[in-house]
Structure 1
Amino acid sequence: MIVACDTLQLHVEAAQEKMGTHYEVLLLDSRLHAQPEKMNEAVFEAIAGLPAQVDTVLLAMGLCGGSVSGRPFPRRTVIPKVDDCITLLLHKDQTWRPNLKECGHFYLTDTLEGRLSIENMHRRLTEEYGEEDGGDIFDMWFANYKSVDIIDTGAYPCRSESYLEKAKRQAALVNCPLTYVDGSNLLLEKLVSGQWDHQFIVAEKGQVLEQAAFSV
């Protein structure tokens, strides 16, 4: 059984197709990431609520602000050993790295219209504070960004005309160049196919993971 953040839905599907697996997938609402304690609660409730015959859960997400730490796992759970889903998609080889993001880079994947997209952050701020004040807050948030990067994993049509049109709007809002960076679906392919090596944490039933476990 796979439990996944819905931002990774297409990537989980692509991984299963490539590796020939057909596990049922339970998707969690990515909006919960705005409050990591809510995502934490949702993760553990989802795992606990699975049918009794499920003895191992494949968790398709990273630490994500503590979303998978601090509570005993209701059943054996396998997790990519990364800080978040961006780093998960940036892994391209067998070398474990807890964080592959570069400072000043805003990363885009297949979900351009979610709550945490650049356009929606701008919209919410201007609706709440007005065009001028909301715009100033938005500009302050993104003052130190220097690039908007599309992660090309091969799992979604990131070079299509329709995708690029949306991505260019995001980059224009923060006055940054739009670039491509190479990523891959490697970790999810390993997750679904049982290749749980040093790039993963296998938490046994009842085990509690602390956040430090994802960085050592």
Structure 2
Amino acid sequence: MSTVILSCTALLEYVQQAQKTCNTDFPIIELNRQYHIEPSKMKNHILQTLSSLSSDVDTILVAMGFCGGSWQDVSCSKTLVIPRVADCVALTLTTTEQYAPDLKEQGHMYLFGNGENGFSVHAIYESLLKEYDKEMADIVFNMYFEHYHHLDIIDNGLYDCYDLDFVERAQADADRIHAELDFVPGSNILLEKLVSGKWDEQFFVASPNTRITQGKFFDC
């Protein structure tokens, strides 16, 4: 029997670093972050991916959070281990071993990841242009960001988030949504615990064929 990691592409480099830190080498199966915009699409993506896994896989380490209900009513024939956090952003904001499902602040948008898989306002706009014409994309984009007044870079030590080029791109994103740019602390602690098997109250462990619900997921 074997273990695999199911990772949102937004967290791929974080998972790779966690495995390097913890000396593990589990195969990584990616979930495309573009489905995050609509949880129902991410849920279908998750179900399709789970159904395609080899029969010799018995444990799936999930590198993402509940993500807007993406895991609601999901079940499979294998053990699932998922950080008990609201979403990928809340996961990267966690810095201690104390259970805290959602450390995001109202009105704050967060940047994390330094590679092509990292979140960016520009990337969201480009994805909307692929789905809508420009007029509708602009409407949806403005609706999506109208309540965000802060854009925070998560400093987790995995890359130089103070690099001038990175900060300039982040500032351009902030300007685009009329937000103030700042830095907040983060870490990779949850993913390191996930891959090393240190599953405590910060994790939801679903035995085979357990139907995941929001109530079960966040109930400690």
After superposition, give the CA deviation of every residue in 1:98-142 in whole Å (9 maximum; x if it has no partner): 1111000010011686797322445647x8354xx8767655543
Q: Do the aligned residues in 1 keep the contact of 2:11 with 2:117 (CA within 8 Å)?
A: no
Unaligned runs of 5+ in 2: none
TM normalised by structure 1 equals 0.88
Q: Following the alignment from structure 1 to structure 2, what is the Cα–Cα distance between the partners of residues 21 and 140?
A: 42
- In the alignment, structure 1 residue 128 sits paired with structure 2 residue 133: yes
Tell me which of 75, 79, 82 is aligned to 1:79.
82
Secondary structure at 1:65 match in 2: helix
Q: Following the alignment from structure 2 to structure 1, what is the Cα–Cα distance between the partners of residues 65 and 181?
A: 25
Query: Corresponding residue for 1:65?
Result: 68
Unaligned runs of 5+ in 1: none
After superposition, give the CA deviation of every residue in 1:14-50 in whole Å (9 maximum; x if it has no partner): 1001011011100111111222122112213322322
Secondary structure at 1:55 match in 2: strand
The percentage of aligned residue pairs carrying the same residue is 37
Query: Corresponding residue for 2:187?
Result: 184
Q: CA RMSD in A?
A: 2.3
Query: Corresponding residue for 2:153?
Result: 150
Q: How many residues align?
A: 213
Change (3 A) 1:116 1:128: farther
Q: Do the aligned residues in 2 keep the contact of 1:57 with 1:76 (CA within 8 Å)?
A: yes
Change (3 A) 1:153 1:173: same
Change (3 A) 1:136 1:101: same
Flag as ranges the 4+ runs of structure 1 deviating above 6 A.
112-116
Change (3 A) 1:129 1:102: same
Q: Which amino acid aligns with 1:213?
A: K
Tell me which of 210, 213, 217 is aligned to 1:214.
217
Tell me which of 10, 13, 37 is aligned to 1:10.
13
Q: Following the alignment from structure 2 to structure 1, what is the Cα–Cα distance between the partners of residues 179 and 6?
A: 34
Q: Which amino acid aligns with 1:214?
A: F
Q: Which amino acid aligns with 2:211?
A: V
